[in-house]
Chains A and B, each alone.
Chain A
Amino acid sequence: GIQVEQSPPDLILQEGANSTLRCNFSDSVNNLQWFHQNPWGQLINLFYIPSGTKQNGRLSATTVATERYSLLYISSSQTTDSGVYFCAVGNYGQNFVFGPGTRLSVLP
C-alpha cells in the first residue's frame, strides 16, 4: 500500500514565525489533502491539493505530484495554529491513507 511520511514530527515556534511542513508519499495518487487537528480533536480540512499550489490566508500548499511530495507553509504563525497537521493521500474509490502528522506548538 501507499506509504506516507511527514516531517518534522514535532515543531515549536515563537508566535509570528514561519514554517514549512513536508509530506512524502510512495506512489502516484489523485487525492491529497492537508488537515489540522485542533486541541479538541476536530479534523479541519485545510487544502485539497493533488497537484499545484493553493493559498488560503496565511496558509499555502504546494504539491509536486511527479516527485511525490507536498509542502504546507504557515506564515506569521499564531497560537491558534497549534495542533497536529496531517497529510492524507489516496486514489478515487480506494483507501485514503494518513501520514503520522506534525505536532506544532506556537508559543506566545
Chain B
Amino acid sequence: NAGVTQTPKFQVLKTGQSMTLQCAQDMNHNSMYWYRQDPGMGLRLIYYSASEGTTDKGEVPNGYNVSRLNKREFSLRLESAAPSQTSVYFCASSAPYRNTEAFFGQGTRLTVV
C-alpha cells in the first residue's frame, strides 16, 4: 500500500520555466491538499480539493494552478516559476468522515534559480 506518492522528489527550474508536480493516493480518499514549506517554517496551504471536480484556494495560491484529474490524482502546476517558489511541496489526502486522518507524501524539493 503506497499511500500518497509524489513525483518528482527533486527538481531544479530556471526562472520562467513551467512544471507540474504530480500527486496520487491509493486510499480512496475524497479530499486532497497541496502545501508548501519554506525553510524553518510551517506548512502553508496552497490549494485543496474537497472532492473530485472541486478545488479551492488556500492561504498562498498565487502563482499556482491545480487540477483534480480524478479521485486518485491532484496535480500542482507552476506556469512561470519564480525564485520565491523555491520550497518543499507536500501533497496530502484524507477522507471526509469521522475518525480519519490526513496522510502526507514524502515531499518535492523544488529550487528555482
Contacts and interface: CB of A to CB of B under 8 A. Distances in A.
Interface residues of B, number: 31
A25 interface: no
Interface string B91-104: 01010111111111
Contact of B48 (A1, A42, A43, A96): A96
B50 A93 contact: yes
Interface in B72-113: 88, 90, 92, 94, 96-104, 106-107, 109
Contacts of B102: 31, 33, 88, 96
Nearest to B99: A48
Contacts of A97: 45, 59
B42 A100 contact: yes
A16 B20 CA distance: 45
A45 B33 contact: no
B88 A98 contact: no
Nearest to B105: A43
Taking residues whose C-beta sits less than 8 angstroms from the other chain, chain A's interface range is 20 to 34
A69 B67 CA distance: 34
Contacts of B58: 95
B42 A95 contact: no
A38 B63 CA distance: 29
A78 B96 CA distance: 35
Nearest to B92: A96
A92 B48 CA distance: 12
Interface string A1-20: 10000000000000000000
The 7 closest A-B pairs by CB, nearest first: A48-B101, A93-B50, A98-B43, A43-B104, A93-B96, A92-B96, A100-B42
Interface of A: 1, 30-31, 33, 35, 41-43, 45, 48, 86, 88, 92-101
13 contacts: A31-B94, A41-B106, A41-B107, A42-B106, A48-B99, A92-B97, A95-B33, A95-B45, A95-B58, A96-B102, A97-B45, A100-B41, A101-B42
